[in-house]
Structure 1
Amino acid sequence: MSGPDRIPPHLADETASLRARIAELEAELTYHRAAASPPPSTLDLTREEYLRYSRQLLLPQIGLPGQTALKRSRVLIVGIGGLGSPAALYLAGAGIGTLGLIDHDVVETSNLHRQVLHRTSTIGLPKVLSAAKALRDLNPHVQITTYAEAFTPGNAEDVIAQWDVVLDCTDHPKLRYLISDACVLLGKPLVSASALKLEGQLIVLNDPPGKGPCYRCIWPRPPPPESIISCGEGGVLGPVVGAMGVMQALETIKLITRPKGKELTQPRMLFFSAAAETMWRTLKMRGRREGCVACGQQGIKNLGSEEEYALFCGVPNAFALEEEYRLSVRQARELVLLGTKPLLVDVRDRTQFGICKVPGSVNVPFERFLAVGEGLPEEIVGLLQEERRDVVVLCRLGNDSQVAAKRLLESGVHGRVWDVRGGIREWARIAPEDGIVEY
């Protein structure tokens, strides 16, 4: 035998032994490499995370691909109150990689019955710091980014640009239009919800970006400003707002983990009513509106100013009275209890009027003013006909009372008319001895 592969007989056995040893060492090296590092598809999860997320990893709709998608995602929550609290808790628990929290408010005692992310020990803290503390304690694997500031046209683009999905957990149309416009401009899906009293609703907007409808498609015009009732005025049951926040978290998880090309063909709005026999209803909504000023053919090019959004939605002080028609609590108290004793009209609803009331006041709910259009409720007309005297109007916070007082002034009452700045809440702080409580 000749050629390069020829091995002398006295070396053949030694060469075979060396080759066997090399193969043995290579196999051992491969084993140790495999033991030292997991397969590429599982690099994103630690052993502790496999255990932490095991129950949702078992779901075919999630599995390892879905869990790694959650860990790589970045979700922004605008408003860390009744909606944002449960949404943040469940998103952190599910393993969202990075959560962004933006809110300019601080924790108050009245928040705690529904804003379950906060604690008595964090009263007075900025909500984003209170929330971050609780979320890190729940899941240390989640990165938390906080913005202790108001969400405005000035910071909206810079903030939203960094995130994959946005949750609107606010409670005023001005912010809802702003958040939606920013999501359209930057191509981000938006999970929007609201809750008041015993009812809530939820819809996923701008999904997929550039194709799904935006907030303006569904609500081209805002509601009349005088008809807007916050939970601070109309009330809300904690589990109601909690249910809607949890549903926001659920829709966000579905957005992040669904396979590409599985977007809904038609948007749906979810309605919840705690008092109804059938508490949950789903309504198919129209798609993107061709003439929409935000996402239509022309499209939005930049966000408006703070003033433009306020004017579009109707600023609360558009109905404000001049200072000559406004009284401080001390001034009102002196007139009503010690002075000329004008007619004191309390326009809170009957439930709130039953909680506490200024001695001698009469209750004409604000809804009665809205129901009669531009005139006056019959109750007011009757009272004014009995005695031609001055009128002081009182509400909970000093907003509805301005509208009612202005209506009285425009109707040409014979006496003088005022409203009370700060309403019943301020009265409770200034003169609790009158039997008024802050709520």
Structure 2
Amino acid sequence: MAFTSITDQITLLHSQIAATESQLLNLRAQLSAAESRVETARHLEQAYQGGFPAEWIGETLSRWPLSGEEYKRYGRQMIMKEVGLHGQLRLKQAKVLVVGCGGLGCPAAAYLAGAGVGTIGLVDGDTVEASNLHRQIAHSTSRVGLSKVESAYEYLRELNPLPNYERHPFHLSPTTAPDVFSAYDLVLDCTDHPTSRYLISDTCVLAGKPLVSASALKTEGQLIVLNNPPKPPGDPTGGPCYRCVFPKPPPADSVLSCGEGGILGPVVGVMGVLQALEAIKLLTSPSKPSVNGNGISPFEQQESPRASMLLFSAFSSPQFRTIRMRARHASCAACSSMATITSQHLTDGALDYAAFCGLTHPINLLSPQARITAADFARLPRDGSNILIDVRDETQYAMCALRGSINVPWSGSGQKWIETALQKGALPMDVAGRELFVVCRYGNDSQLAVKAIQDVMEGGAGPSGTSVNVRDIRGGFRAWRAEVDGEWPEY
């Protein structure tokens, strides 16, 4: 009986502790909100009395903390409690770096400029091409051939001349990234390749900068806020970095660019706009007052949020899904207590991101004898003595194809592709005296297909066990356009 009484008492105590902890958590939230309101009110009072910190305004103080034009431009967002005057002043003080002025960077930079971010940095080493224009909204036909940074600068200046625009018309490298990042508060990764993603993330960890990262391909997109809050490596309360989420890069031959895999313009636009939204949320979030009563960076006092990845699929229902991500990885090479990546590794060029991602050498699987130039192939007779296999997908084949070619899309698996080719008659049983040629868009998948045929024939599993003279057209249809047919569609 006494045992039951003690057990009941323990249960009651546990229940009281849980209730007290819940009440304490609620009181802490109320205290944080009250402190934030007091801090906001203090800053606003200083602003109206002409005592607002000069660095928050960036110009000669007057009766109002913002100019008349700024009130007109940003009034629609300032009247929202989520932004307010205090948030607008934070945006004006902020310095944001946009790495990549393409499909993601164009809408992201446009909305940051429209929102009144004080300094916007633009990084890109490419020039504008006509194929960019269906999705990269900051560029135009008249600026084809111009640096993307200069083109985006002209667009943004026309949109809003008030922010300060810093131009960095070059590709980031491990040696240049630390100096560039040091001048900014927040970084947006608007690039499209793993090599740049790892470099940008590593630099943000070492420089103590939050990172808003997004990607888009075909009809899919993803978004994640990384290194938020930006604690030093080894601090478990910091947000995870890109290496925590993706410790190993994808296989090099599985990585597709927009030029190879395709992209629907509004998809990449959606992701770029969401990057700007996340950046604005981070920049306008109120900070807690420090010991001496001065406002501090909103990133320094945030409790570590649970990172989540937002997935977007244009043709799915629902279109948006969220995946909760784990905290910093205990053995992460960049942000853990076991980190092996240091600032010196970046600046002295010791980190080879291309090699890390498996891109040290371009694909070159075949011997010279197993390849033929587009010009040489064009001079061969088309009398049925040779077979041309086009390994592009059905959609690209329908756009443009050489007469008499057989479409057998490369499947990624040599055995499955061989089976499909046999079914379609692209690998006939009687191949004596005939030659096989394989072509693709750029000359990569065609090499894989040729190698698959060679492997099957060498193993004695080919049609009638006959050896086949099979060759790849070097450079694919890009070379065909350059060497043979200048009117071949470029896409």
Report the TM-score, using the length of structure 2 for normalisation: 0.76
Equivalent of residue 241 in structure 1, options 260, 265, 268: 268
- 1:190 maps to 211
Aligned-residue offset at 1:215 = 0.5
- 1:365 maps to 409
- 1:311 maps to 355
Deviations 1:348-383 (A, max 9, x none): 1111111001122211212x1x2x366753123453
Aligned-residue offset at 1:161 = 1.7
> Are positions 1:402 and 2:450 aligned together?
no
Equivalent of residue 39 in structure 1, options 38, 50, 55: 50
Aligned-residue offset at 1:98 = 1.1
Amino acid at match of 2:122: L
293-302 or 167-176: bigger deviation: 293-302
Amino acid at match of 1:77: V
Amino acid at match of 1:248: Q
Amino acid at match of 1:406: K
Aligned-residue offset at 1:316 = 7.2
Amino acid at match of 1:280: F
190-199 or 319-328: bigger deviation: 319-328
Amino acid at match of 1:436: W
- 1:16 maps to none
Equivalent of residue 419 in structure 1, options 458, 461, 472: 472
CA distance in structure 1 between the partners assigned to 2:325 and 2:388 by the alignment: 46
Amino acid at match of 1:102: V
CA distance in structure 1 between the partners assigned to 2:303 and 2:78 by the alignment: 22
- 2:245 maps to 218
Contact between 1:169 and 1:192, CA under 8 Å: does it hold in 2?
yes
Contact between 2:101 and 2:124, CA under 8 Å: does it hold in 1?
yes
410-419 or 169-178: bigger deviation: 410-419
Q: Note the 1:198-209 alignment, pairs <5 A.
A: 198-209=219-230
- 1:23 maps to none
Deviations 1:231-258 (A, max 9, x none): 1111111100000000000001111111
> Are positions 1:252 and 2:279 aligned together?
yes
**Secondary structure at the residue paired with 1:396?**
coil
CA distance in structure 2 between the partners assigned to 1:357 and 1:194 by the alignment: 31
Relative to structure 1, is the Cα distance of residues 162 and 419 closer, same or farther in structure 2, using a 3 angstrom cutoff?
A: farther
Amino acid at match of 1:183: C
Contact between 1:376 and 1:408, CA under 8 Å: does it hold in 2?
no
Paired-residue identity, %: 49
Relative to structure 1, is the Cα distance of residues 415 and 163 closer, same or farther in structure 2, using a 3 angstrom cutoff?
A: same
Equivalent of residue 346 in structure 1, options 386, 390, 396: 390
For the aligned residues, what is the CA RMSD? 2.3
Deviations 1:189-214 (A, max 9, x none): 11110111111000000111121001
Aligned-residue offset at 1:158 = 1.6
Amino acid at match of 1:219: F
Q: Note the 1:131-150 alignment, pairs <5 A.
A: 131-150=152-171
Aligned-residue offset at 1:324 = 4.2
Aligned-residue offset at 1:177 = 0.9
Aligned-residue offset at 1:150 = 1.3
Matched residues, number: 398
Aligned-residue offset at 1:425 = 3.0
Equivalent of residue 256 in structure 2, options 224, 229, 233: 229
Contact between 2:101 and 2:148, CA under 8 Å: does it hold in 1?
yes
> Are positions 1:88 and 2:109 aligned together?
yes
CA distance in structure 2 between the partners assigned to 1:317 and 1:361 by the alignment: 30
> Are positions 1:265 and 2:310 aligned together?
no
Deviations 1:314-362 (A, max 9, x none): 1174532354443332123223x55885332222111111100112221
> Are positions 1:438 and 2:486 aligned together?
no
Contact between 2:408 and 2:417, CA under 8 Å: does it hold in 1?
no
Contact between 2:99 and 2:105, CA under 8 Å: does it hold in 1?
yes
108-117 or 38-47: bigger deviation: 38-47
> Are positions 1:279 and 2:340 aligned together?
no
Contact between 1:358 and 1:436, CA under 8 Å: does it hold in 2?
no
CA distance in structure 1 between the partners assigned to 2:435 and 2:334 by the alignment: 48
Amino acid at match of 1:91: L
Amino acid at match of 1:286: R
Contact between 1:99 and 1:143, CA under 8 Å: does it hold in 2?
yes
**Secondary structure at the residue paired with 2:199?**
helix
Relative to structure 1, is the Cα distance of residues 277 and 376 closer, same or farther in structure 2, using a 3 angstrom cutoff?
A: closer
Q: Note the 1:67-216 alignment, pairs <5 A.
A: 67-210=88-231, 211-216=238-243
- 1:380 maps to 421
CA distance in structure 2 between the partners assigned to 1:341 and 1:129 by the alignment: 53
Relative to structure 1, is the Cα distance of residues 324 and 92 closer, same or farther in structure 2, using a 3 angstrom cutoff?
A: farther
Relative to structure 1, is the Cα distance of residues 177 and 391 closer, same or farther in structure 2, using a 3 angstrom cutoff?
A: farther
CA distance in structure 2 between the partners assigned to 1:38 and 1:330 by the alignment: 77
Deviations 1:145-188 (A, max 9, x none): 11211111221212212211111111111111111111111111
**Secondary structure at the residue paired with 1:310?**
helix
CA distance in structure 1 between the partners assigned to 2:187 and 2:99 by the alignment: 7
CA distance in structure 1 between the partners assigned to 2:419 and 2:471 by the alignment: 20
Amino acid at match of 2:117: I
- 1:54 maps to 75
Contact between 1:225 and 1:316, CA under 8 Å: does it hold in 2?
no
Contact between 1:349 and 1:365, CA under 8 Å: does it hold in 2?
yes
**Secondary structure at the residue paired with 1:75?**
strand
**Secondary structure at the residue paired with 1:99?**
strand
- 1:10 maps to none
Aligned-residue offset at 1:419 = 2.5
354-363 or 417-426: bigger deviation: 417-426
CA distance in structure 2 between the partners assigned to 1:422 and 1:40 by the alignment: 66
CA distance in structure 2 between the partners assigned to 1:238 and 1:231 by the alignment: 10
Contact between 2:418 and 2:453, CA under 8 Å: does it hold in 1?
no
Amino acid at match of 1:293: A
Deviations 1:16-50 (A, max 9, x none): xxxxxxxxxxxxxxxxxxxxx97333645222111
